[in-house]
């Protein structure tokens, strides 16, 4: 478990600023999938149809699953979420 | 002191009628860290004043070491999924930015239904904060309320 003293979460401003730069085309391969973002929001480190698979994908790639943010990439073929 | 979260963008390949032709929607989505007996994970959640509870996908419970076998159960409703089964557990939650950190215990719901996102709803979440949705600035500001039970 991450100790309070060494915790490094995503800086909300850095995370959002970088994520918001991703274009429709860049995100297209991930529509409808769960992904693991880098803490700074600059990279998608793993993607899976089911979020439960992300952990194993990250570990297999030699990455620390705790140093990511799990998120869903919405499919923009749906105009609005209600 | 408060926690400010910029909205996250979703880009569309066509103009959206209700946004007067814009091709980007912004949503109050931010990362929250969920702690369990064996680990912690940051996961994006939608701040949703229409959500009664905090809701996460059930696979997250397994990853943080929560055994939901004997957890209290219930039913929930999510717009795109209809009625869904939920199981409840108490977890520690943390919101963080470089200037402020908030951490508290809360009962949250987990569902095996195929959620498209986590939800930061009223019970255990928004009830502890004064939430200011500044859509015009595309940011959410959370300030702890007198009811806030954490650190």
User: Rounded mean pLDDT of A4-9?
Assistant: 58
Model pTM? 0.91
What is the pLDDT at residue B56?
96
Cβ neighbours, 10 Å, residue B5: 22
Query: For the domain B3-144, what is the CATH code?
Result: 2.40.70.10
Query: Looking at chain B from residue 40 to 59, which residues have their Cβ under 8 Å from any Cβ of chain A?
Result: 40-44, 57, 59
CB B28 within 8 A of CB B6: no
In this prediction, the residues of chain B whose per-residue pLDDT falls under 70 are none
Query: Where exactly are the structural domains of chain B?
Result: 3-144
pLDDT-based confidence at residue A52 (cuts at 50, 70, 90)? confident
Q: A54: pLDDT confidence band, cut at 50, 70 and 90?
A: very high
Question: What mean pLDDT, rounded, does chain A reach?
Answer: 88
For residue A1, pLDDT beyond 50: no
CB–CB of B41 and A24 under 8 A? no
**A5, A71, A77, A80: best mutation site toward chain B, by most B Cβ within 10 Å?**
A71
Residue B84 is predicted with a pLDDT of 83
* CA separation for the pair B120, B31 (Å, rounded): 10
Q: Looking at beta carbons, which residues of chain B come within 8 Å of A65?
A: 41, 63
Domains of chain A by residue range: 9-23+30-72
pLDDT tens per residue, range B60-69: 999 999 998 8
Contact call for A19 and B9, based on CB within 8 A: yes
Please name the residues between 47 and 76 in chain A that touch chain B, using a CB distance below 8 Å. Answer: 50-52, 55, 65-66, 68-72, 74, 76
Which of A3, A5, A15 should one mutate to test binding to chain B, selecting the residue with the greatest count of B CBs within 10 A?
A15
The C-alpha of A61 sits at a distance from chain B's nearest C-alpha, in angstroms, of 18
How many angstroms from the chain centroid is the CA of residue B148? 16
Which pLDDT band holds residue A8 (cuts at 50, 70, 90)?
low
How far is residue B143's CA from residue A12's CA, in Å, rounded to a whole number? 15
Residue B54: count of CB within 10 angstroms of its CB: 25
Q: Which H, E and C letters describe B21-57, residue by residue?
A: CCCEEEECEEEEEEEECCEEEEEEEEECCCCCECEEE
Residues of B31-48 as b/e, b for ≥16 C-beta within 10 angstroms?
bbbbbbeebbbbbbbbbb
CB of A71 closer than 8 Å to CB of B44: yes
Query: Who's near B134: CB < 8 A, 6+ residues apart?
Result: B140, B141
- Tell me whether strands B24-27 and B8-11 are parallel, antiparallel or unpaired: antiparallel
Categorize the per-residue pLDDT at A3 as very low, low, confident or very high, splitting at 50, 70 and 90. very low
């Amino acid at each position: 478990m991450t100790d309070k003293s060494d915790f490094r979460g995503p800086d909300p401003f850095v995370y959002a600023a970088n994520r918001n730069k991703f274009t429709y085309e860049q995100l297209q391969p991930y529509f409808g999938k769960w992904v693991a973002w880098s803490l700074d929001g600059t990279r998608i480190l793993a993607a899976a149809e089911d979020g439960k698979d992300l952990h194993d994908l990250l570990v297999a790639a030699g990455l620390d699953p705790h140093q990511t943010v799990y998120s869903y990439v919405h499919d923009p073929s749906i105009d609005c979420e209600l | 002191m408060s926690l400010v979260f910029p909205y996250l963008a979703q880009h569309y390949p066509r103009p959206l009628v209700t946004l007067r032709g814009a091709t980007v929607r912004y949503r109050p989505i931010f990362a929250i860290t969920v702690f369990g007996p064996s680990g912690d994970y940051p996961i994006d959640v939608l701040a949703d004043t229409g959500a009664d509870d905090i809701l996460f996908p059930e696979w997250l419970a397994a990853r943080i070491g929560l055994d939901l076998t004997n957890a209290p159960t219930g039913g929930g409703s999510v717009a795109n999924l209809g009625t869904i089964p939920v199981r409840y557990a108490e977890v520690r939650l943390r919101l963080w930015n470089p200037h402020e950190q908030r951490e508290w215990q809360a009962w949250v719901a987990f569902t095996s239904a195929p959620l498209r996102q986590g939800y930061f709803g009223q019970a255990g979440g928004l009830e502890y904060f004064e939430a200011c949705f500044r859509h015009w600035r595309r940011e959410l500001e959370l300030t702890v309320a007198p009811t806030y039970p954490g650190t």
